[in-house]
């Protein structure tokens, strides 16, 4: 079980003049099963069904936040992310990265730091008349 990554959905938002970074997470019961021919995990494959469900859950929670005022995506199309992290990165690394972004708003540093600890990551994308999709980074 220790080898199974933890899945996190993150939203970089602004509400009432303040940055917010709500997130939702779920430990995966099984490591991702799609691997390349050498047995190594394919780095940019699609998220699991758990990832899609987690993204939907966070989007619904974000929608509920509109009761407290209008929301803006803080960094445009890059404002909604899904990442897989090793469980040991959660207690210290992720909260520090989150706090730094809330304080500074520096998305480049945030993404660089997140990529350093993430096993895989995606940006949630939406285009009119197209299904929601995930773009690997």
**pLDDT digit string, tens, across residues 8-30:** 999 999 999 999 999 999 987 66
Residue 27 forms part of a structural domain: yes
Q: Domain limits at 92?
A: 6-136
pLDDT at 132: 86
Which tens digits make up the pLDDT trace of 32-71? 554 443 444 444 477 888 888 999 999 999 999 999 999 9
pLDDT at 104 > cutoff 50: yes
Q: Is the pLDDT of residue 100 over 60?
A: yes
Asked whether the predicted pLDDT for residue 84 surpasses 90, the reply is: yes
* 1 within domain boundaries: no
What average pLDDT does this structure show over 90-104?
95
Say what the pTM is.
0.84
Q: What total number of domains does the chain contain? A: 1
Is residue 102 domain-resident? yes
**pLDDT for res 18:** 96
- Secondary structure string (H, E, C) spanning the chain: CCCCCEEEEEECEEECCEEECCEEEEECCCCCCCECCCCCECCCCCCCHHHHHHHHHHHHHHHHHHHHCCEEECCHHHCEEEEEECHHHCCCHHHHHHHHHHHHCCHHHHHHHHHHHCCEEEEEECCCCCCCEEEEC
For 48-52, 76-80, 122-126, which range has the lowest pLDDT when averaged over its residues? 48-52
Report pLDDT for 35: 44
| Any domain includes 17 | yes
119 domain-assigned = yes
Establish if 57 belongs to a structural domain: yes
Residue with tokens 């990551």: 121
Rounded mean pLDDT of the chain?
Answer: 88
């Amino acid at each position: 079980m220790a080898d199974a990554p933890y899945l996190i959905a993150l939203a970089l938002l602004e509400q009432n003049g303040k940055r917010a970074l709500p997130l939702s997470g779920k430990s995966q019961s099984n490591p991702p099963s799609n691997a390349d021919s050498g047995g190594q995990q394919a780095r940019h494959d699609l998220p699991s069904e758990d990832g899609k469900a987690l993204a939907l859950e966070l989007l619904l929670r974000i929608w509920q936040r509109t009761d407290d005022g209008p929301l803006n995506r803080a960094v445009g199309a890059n404002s909604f992310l899904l990442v897989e992290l090793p469980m040991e990165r959660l207690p210290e690394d992720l909260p520090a990265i989150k706090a730094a972004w809330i304080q500074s708003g520096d998305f480049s540093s945030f993404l660089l730091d997140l990529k350093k600890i993430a096993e895989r990551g995606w940006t949630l994308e939406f285009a009119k008349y197209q299904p929601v999709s995930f773009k690997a980074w």
